[in-house]
Amino acid sequence: MLLPQSLVSRYEQLPNGYPLVLVQLPMYNEEAHCEVVIERACRMEWPRDRLVIQVCDDSTRDDIKRRIDAKVADMAAAGHACVVVRRPANIGYKAGNMVNGMRAVQDLPWEYVAVFDADFEMPRDFLFQTVWHMAEDPRLAFVQTRWTFTNGYDNLLCWAQRVSLNYHFAVEQRARSFMCTFFGFNGTGGVWRRTALEGAGGWNMDSTVEDMDLSIRAYVQGWKFRYLDWVHCPNELPPTLSAYKTQQFRWNSGPMVVLKQMLATIWTTDKVNFFDRLSCSYFFFRFIYTAFLTIVSLMCPAIVIWLDPWRWDWPNYAFLISGNTSALVFWWLVGPLFWPYFLFQTVSVTPTLLLPLSLSWLPPPLLLLPLLLLVVLPLLLLLLLLLPGIGYFRVYAMGSGLIGSEKTKGWKVTKKFGKGKMGGRAYHKPYTLDLVIAVYYLGMTFAACWWRLWLLASFTWIMVFSFLCLSFGDYLF
């Protein structure tokens, strides 16, 4: 691969030349990707004597272990410093796996560590594009690159994930990095500085979101982060509903555990200023905001039935005053601080709440507005149907994290199949909570028909269909 001379010269001008880089590939029974990711890592452009590829293998299947050993041997025979590290027990999950790997090379003078999950397709110039940022800026603890997706159009579920995650990487991470506010390491597709990682206490083996946990601990010590939107790392989205829910439970319960553990530290540390504390705290607000909108969307049909027909009495006055006051305070005090995320959530989630209200109360000419929206953006309806269903599950996960349930203390690996492959797929039984909410919306449908709120009934009936689809989603996606 021909690298730009301007990029190569950055490393040639460093006082100590090319730094020694450790590349960790944590794995656990990665049947679909275990061999190809090792080969991709070894093909990255970097002086061979300054690069160590370490396969941190926690696999329990002997056939996968043999495949990994054979590929590592092939790469070592080709002249690459490629080794495999294993341990007798899977303690601490992914964090424990990486900690064990670092212990094996603790005597080596490596300065940076790049982490890749098994399904990642790192570009060959990845290290050249990332390491120089930290070599030239000693304040940086890590650099994070952008995820892209190899199966974003395989089915409706993958498409919805692609829309959501593209916002996260194209807007949220990019904006936070540009504004020098807190954002988290995404667990893979990035490079950490060794002194920052070890100075912050290393990977926390008790956390299921070790990336967020370490990011916060490094941030409150005064380290800075940088996001590189132009460096893309393709990877695989969970193609089944059961795999997606497994991932979402960990992604939403883990941050609540971290919030309980770190909130006091964030506001008592003397190594960051008030704005840094605020931005770090606000990072968790997106979870609370999403939970609030989800709960309101579930309550919306009952609110419409309660308020229709409209009567100018004190309960309705109180509803209008409190609702508009809270919205006004949020808009002027919270929204402008981090407007990209606020704008996205408002545009994407709020129509789910406003649609039944507008269909019930708007005069007939104005009914064309929401209908026109659905005609102009037909896929928006499909996205909105998924958001409440997945949103309630996120609320459930957040609640589990806040109360410290046993389920939040374990790690269930997200099943990956490989692009266009679904071999060995197991189907989850219908989800009970989705069925319960479908019954709730069915009751709201009958109530709306009883009160002759026909347009509201059409909305609730669609939600019944949506939650039934999510309940049996493993057989549909």
Structural domain includes residue 269: no
- The reply to whether 231 and 290 lie within a common domain is no
Q: pTM of this prediction?
A: 0.83
Residue 432: exposure state from Cβ atoms within 10 A (0-12, 13-18, ≥19): exposed
- The reply to whether 327 and 464 lie within a common domain is yes
- For residue range 166-201, what is the model confidence (pLDDT) as tens digits? 888 887 888 888 888 899 999 999 999 999 999 999
The predicted pLDDT at position 81 comes to 94
Closest CA to 194 of 100, 110, 104, 103: 110
Which range, 262-266, 287-291, 322-326, 427-431, has the best average confidence (pLDDT)? 262-266
The predicted pLDDT at position 363 comes to 45
- Percent pLDDT > 90 in the chain is 38
Judged by phi (left if over 0) then psi (alpha if -120 to 50, else beta), residue 2 lies in beta
Structural domain includes residue 465: yes
- For residue range 418-465, what is the model confidence (pLDDT) as tens digits? 665 655 666 778 888 889 989 999 999 998 888 887 777 877 887 888
Q: Strand 112-115 vs strand 190-193: parallel, antiparallel, or unpaired?
A: antiparallel
**pLDDT-based confidence at 350, cuts 50/70/90?**
very low
The number of residues making up the chain comes to: 477
- The reply to whether 309 and 454 lie within a common domain is yes
> Chain centroid to CA 444: how far?
33
Q: How much is the average pLDDT of 9-25?
A: 86
The predicted pLDDT at position 314 comes to 63
- Return d(Cα 382, Cα 157) in angstroms, integer: 10
- Return d(Cα 293, Cα 341) in angstroms, integer: 14
- Other Cβ atoms within 10 Å of 433 Cβ, number: 14
The predicted pLDDT at position 321 comes to 59
- Which range has the worst mean pLDDT, 7-16, 231-240, 271-280, 342-351? 342-351
- The reply to whether 316 and 451 lie within a common domain is yes
3-state SS track over the chain: CCCCHHHHHHHHCCCCCCCCEEEEEEECCCCCCHHHHHHHHHCCCCCHHHEEEEEEECCCCHHHHHHHHHHHHHHHHCCCCEEEECCCCCCCHHHHHHHHHHHHCCCCCCCEEEECCCCCCCCCCHHHHHHHHHHHCCCEEEEEEEEEECCCCCCHHHHHHHHHHHHHHHHHHHHHHHCCCCCCCCCCCEEEEHHHHHHCCCCCCCCCCHHHHHHHHHHCCCCEEEEEEEEEEEECCCCCHHHHHHHHHHHHHHHHHHHHHHHHHHHHCCCCCHHHHHHHHHCCHHHHHHHHHHHHHHHHHHHHHHHCCCCCCHHHHHHHHHHHHHHHHHHHHHHHHHHHHHHHHHHHHHHHHHHHHHHHHCCHHHHHHHHHHHHHCHHHHHHHHHHHHHHHHHHHHHHHHHHCCHHHHCCCCCCCCCCCCCCCCCCCCCCHHHHHHHHHHHHHHHHHHHCCCHHHHHHHHHHHHHHHHHHCHHHCC
Query: Is 388:299 a contact under the CB 8 Å cutoff?
Result: no
The predicted pLDDT at position 179 comes to 84
Which of 203, 237, 271 terminates a domain? The answer is 237
Structural domain includes residue 151: yes
Tokens of 146: 């952008």
Q: How much is the average pLDDT of 39-60?
A: 94
Which of 237, 255, 277 terminates a domain? The answer is 237
- For residue range 139-158, what is the model confidence (pLDDT) as tens digits? 999 999 999 999 888 888 88
The predicted pLDDT at position 358 comes to 40
The predicted pLDDT at position 195 comes to 96
The predicted pLDDT at position 426 comes to 66
Tokens of 127: 């290290």
Structural domain includes residue 438: yes
Task: Specify the higher pLDDT residue, 248 or 74.
Answer: 74
The predicted pLDDT at position 125 comes to 93
Structural domain includes residue 273: no
The predicted pLDDT at position 417 comes to 66
Number of domains in the chain: 2
**pLDDT-based confidence at 477, cuts 50/70/90?**
low
Which of 237, 268, 295 terminates a domain? The answer is 237
- Return d(Cα 357, Cα 456) in angstroms, integer: 8
Active site residues: 58, 211
Closest CA to 193 of 105, 127, 112: 112
For residue 239, cis peptide bond before it (omega within 30 degrees of 0): no
Q: What is the separation, in whole angstroms, between the first and last Cα of the chain?
A: 39
Structural domain includes residue 278: no
Tokens of 51: 């690069």
Q: In what side-by-side order are the strands of the sheet with 82-85?
A: 82-85, 51-57, 21-27, 112-115, 190-193, 140-149, 224-235
Residue with tokens 């070894």: 42
The predicted pLDDT at position 89 comes to 86
- The reply to whether 138 and 56 lie within a common domain is yes
The predicted pLDDT at position 347 comes to 41
- The reply to whether 297 and 363 lie within a common domain is yes
Can you give the residue range of the structural domain that contains 403? 286-475
Structural domain includes residue 244: no
The residues pairing with 57 across neighbouring beta strands, listed in sequence order, are 27
Query: Is 290:248 a contact under the CB 8 Å cutoff?
Result: no
- For residue range 352-400, what is the model confidence (pLDDT) as tens digits? 344 444 444 444 444 444 454 544 445 555 555 666 678 788 888 888 8
- The reply to whether 211 and 291 lie within a common domain is no
Tell me the CATH number at 207.
Answer: 3.90.550.10
- The reply to whether 39 and 165 lie within a common domain is yes
The predicted pLDDT at position 386 comes to 66
- For residue range 101-147, what is the model confidence (pLDDT) as tens digits? 999 999 999 999 999 999 999 999 999 999 999 999 999 999 999 99
The predicted pLDDT at position 73 comes to 96
Q: What is the CA radius of gyration of the chain?
A: 25
- Return d(Cα 247, Cα 237) in angstroms, integer: 10
